[in-house]
Every structure is written in structure tokens, then in C-alpha cells.
A and B are shown apart, each in its own frame.
Chain A
Amino acid sequence: MHEHRTPDTSETLGCFAVTVIADEVEAFCASLALPPSPVPLTFDMSFLAREEIALALRQNLPRDGIVIHRAQRFRAHAPLEVGRAYKLQLLRHGVRPHEPVIHGRMHDAQGALVHEFWATLMLRSRDEEPA
């Protein structure tokens, strides 16, 4: 008897060292009119702009096309702390190639899972009509 299973399409994009820098948190919070403490959950996404991480993402997303952010989820197991270093593991999930889910898992120096996020994207070619 055959058992039908959804194929596991998870792929690790990399594991990166990131530090929560006070000035960056302050500027980020100011741009949203948020108090500078605690570190906002949405701050996690700013790590994706760091050079090494942005490069890993670019290599996994099409160069010519439009990336549409469809949905986003955050889960905080513990707060991020300013000045602390974390390991950010990035994975790509998704059954359809044009609808990837970028999953970030942040661990502290002791290996405890601190934050997770999932960004659901849709990749559209430039000549498609916007949804």
C-alpha cells in the first residue's frame, strides 16, 4: 500500500551570526513611532537586509521579477536583547516554486530558540498584471 505524502521541499539557505545593535533598533523604532524597548518583533526582518543574508536570499529568488509579500508571521519564545548575538538559520519552504515561504529561526548563544518568523512571498514576472 502506498502512502501519499507531500514532498518535503524545505531547503536550508544558510546560518548567519547576527547582533542586535542598539542604534539600529532605535532608528527602526523611530521610523514606526514605537518605543525603543522592547525590541519589536518586526525588527527580525531587518536582518534580511544584512549583506551576507541578502545575498543568500537573492541567490534563491529570481533576479528578474517582482516579489510580493503576501503574509507574515512571528513567534517570540523569548525577547531579543540589545547587544546580544544570535544565530539566524534561514530555510525556504513551499510546494510551489513561485510561492516560497522564508522561515527564520533565531537561537541564542546557549542554543535556545528565541524567535521565529515566516514570510510568505509570491513571485510575479514583470509582465503579469498586479493582483
Chain B
Amino acid sequence: MKNLRSDTGVAPLCLGPITLDQLHRYAQASGDRNPIHVSPAAAAEAGLRAPIAHGMFILGQFERLIRQWRPACRIESLNAHFLRPLYIGDSLVVGARRASRDTGMTCALRLIAENSAGEIVAIGEATIVGGG
């Protein structure tokens, strides 16, 4: 991962390439059926070259990374800024690094998501409690 070396003890999470089928499943399960995520025609009408992943899908992968690292932790806060679209056909790499001293009780993490070109698609932060 170009922009962030993961130092949490868990390898970055690599997904992809992202498929239309994957986004369909997420759209169905989350109820977010905005057609720019699942329809090439609707994406084109919105000025996008292809359907794009839901921001919440990317944030969900941050949550997945944290759960893989510390399955028993409680995630107290989680946030993200979505910086550029993640298109179908792109891969997604999600990583984390500690933003505060890990006391074993609470830990702040910086999160980052990159596409296949190593461009940052989202950045975020999380505070987790326990599970260490």
C-alpha cells in the first residue's frame, strides 16, 4: 500500500476487483439502491465512467479490517471522508495505523483506502475500546 504502512499487526485488507454483483448485493442488503452504484447507464448520466462503490461499502471495509485485527473490541467511533470514487473493476486496499498509544484498553486508528492505482479514495479514523 503506497500511502500507509499498516502497523497494527494486521495485514492490509485487499479486495477486488470490485464487481457489479458485489455492489448489487450490498445495495440489496443496505437498502441503498441509488442507481449510480449498480447501473452503468445511471452512472454515465451522472458523469461517471462506471458505477461506483457506496461510501458505506468502503467504510464497512474499515470496520472489517478492525474486526479482523481485534474481533472482541468495541468500536466507539468511526468516520471517513470520501475523496474520490471507487469504480467497479478497481481493487480496494484498506489499511490502518495507530494514531495514539495503544493502552490495550483504548486505541485510536488512522484508516486509509486506496484504489488499484494507489490513489486514496477514503481516509478515516476510529476509536476502539478493549479487545487487545
Minimal beta-carbon separation of B22 from chain A (angstroms): 8
Minimal beta-carbon separation of A92 from chain B (angstroms): 18
- Collect the chain A residues with CB atoms within 8 Å of residue B77's CB: 73-76
- Given A72-B79, A74-B79 in contact, is the A66-B63 Cβ separation under 8 Å? no
- Collect the chain A residues with CB atoms within 8 Å of residue B31's CB: 46, 48-50, 54
Interface of A is mostly: mixed
Minimal beta-carbon separation of A4 from chain B (angstroms): 28
Contacting chain A: which of B45-53, B98-106, B108-116?
Answer: B45-53
Query: Are the C-beta atoms of A31 and B59 separated by less than 8 Å?
Result: no
Query: Are the C-beta atoms of A72 and B55 separated by less than 8 Å?
Result: yes
Give me 9 A-to-B residue pairs in the complex whose CB atoms sit less than 8 angstroms apart, sorted by A's number.
A28-B29, A32-B64, A34-B63, A45-B32, A46-B29, A49-B31, A50-B31, A71-B82, A76-B74
Bound Cα distance from A126 to B79, whole angstroms: 28
Q: Give the nearest-CB partner of A73 in chain B.
A: B79
Query: Are the C-beta atoms of B74 and A35 separated by less than 8 Å?
Result: no
User: Could you say which of B30, B48, B57, B64 contacts A49, with CB atoms under 8 Å apart?
Assistant: B30
